[in-house]
Amino acid sequence: MESLESYVVGICQNMCPDEEIKLREKESLLHTLEVVPGTERDRKPKADRSRMVKTFCRSAAGKSMQDPKNLRPPNILLKTLNYLLDDIISRKDLPWTVIYDFVMDRLRSIRQDLVIQNSSKAYCISILQPIVRFHAYASYRLCEENINSFDPVINTTHLQECLKRLLCMYDCCEEISGKDGEVYSFLIENRPHFEALYLVLNLGDSEAIIRPLNLSKIWRTDVVETALELSLSYTNSNFIRVCRLIKQLPILLQAVATLHLPKLRRTVLKIMSVAYSSKNLIFPVHVLKSLLLYNNDRDVFSDCKYYGLEVRDNGICFLRSSFNDNKMLPPSHQDFVDQKLNDVSVSTLILFGDE
């Protein structure tokens, strides 16, 4: 068992410490999701203590981050996590960018409290799994937002950081035997999904590819094998197979995988501009649409024009000299992913996954 003797243990039994509630109410630093309904437009909105959630705060000189009164014990962190990823994340009365900003900040605070207290692996795994899913889901849902509303680089940084820490927790748990090992085996039953997510997120990365090769057979399930084959196909420039394999993944992994499509499509179009370079040859648009998972013919034409290719006779005229690969389109939503996401509860997907 892990020893917590040298670490502080939080005693705050609310989602937000009293000290912070008083300070933020006094300084009018309440989020719209934390005020008493009806007081939003008051000069000093009133704090709804049942909805206040501790904010993320960096350590500063003269300020202790280890005051037990301001630290929430692991069971309260779990309660707070469920509140954020169930009650808040499913709200329809606010733009999802606003909800994302609020939830992301409060999840950082949860992670901070976990680290300060050196919480057990069991709690860390239970909390990190839905946090990873949240950032993975957000990376797709908000991929078309303006940079001022959503920064994909910052979100990906948090996603990678949380996912790598989670995988490290899995590795540590695997080394534990006996009674503790039995407990951890129950907590890591979703491990294959996150092993696959690491592969999909880091498509073609050699370090990510090597990791599953060293996993125990018990974790090399179908979803991991599919993700590994996907990454190897990407590395070998078998992009058509990559597109086929994407549709074989669970929905959240599909969503993340489609974020690689802009780069993949640009590479394929560039290759075709060399292989099919001819002023007289017209490549059928419907074939490109099917091969590269485009939503419709219009999107194919739009991408080809963006890269300097000529569109005529309901097809594409590839010319090596015409292709402009000095720019790349941003990710966008895909119909086959959106249709599946519309059929699932966001909170259920993030809290419990789609394994």
Rounded to 10 degrees, the C-alpha dihedral 11/13/19/24 comes to 140
Strand order in the sheet with 283-284: 283-284, 315-317, 310-312
Residue type, 42: D
Residue 7: pLDDT band with limits 50, 70, 90: confident
Residue 248: pLDDT band with limits 50, 70, 90: very high
- The whole-number pLDDT of residue 58 equals 83
Check whether 62 has a pLDDT greater than 80. Answer: no
- The whole-number pLDDT of residue 20 equals 95
Residue keyed to tokens 């609020």: 102
Residue 316, helix vs strand vs coil: strand
Domain boundaries, the chain: 1-189, 261-334
Q: Is 269 exposed, middle or buried (0-12, 13-18, 19+ CB in 10 A)?
A: buried
Decide: 165 and 114 in contact? Cβ < 8 Å.
no
Which of 236, 249, 247, 242 is closest to 265 using CA atoms? 242
**Tens of pLDDT, residues 164-217:** 999 999 998 877 644 455 666 767 789 999 999 999 999 999 999 999 999 989
Residue 294: pLDDT band with limits 50, 70, 90: very high
Strand partners, 317: 310
Check whether 47 has a pLDDT greater than 60. Answer: yes
Mean pLDDT of all residues belonging to the chain: 92
**Tens of pLDDT, residues 254-275:** 999 999 999 999 999 999 999 9
Decide: 275 and 354 in contact? Cβ < 8 Å.
no
- The whole-number pLDDT of residue 65 equals 82
**Tens of pLDDT, residues 121-162:** 989 999 999 999 999 999 999 999 999 999 999 999 999 999
**Tens of pLDDT, residues 89-126:** 999 999 999 999 999 999 999 999 999 999 999 899 99
Cα 201 to chain centroid, rounded? 9
- The whole-number pLDDT of residue 96 equals 97
Query: Across residues 217-226, what is the average pLDDT?
Result: 94
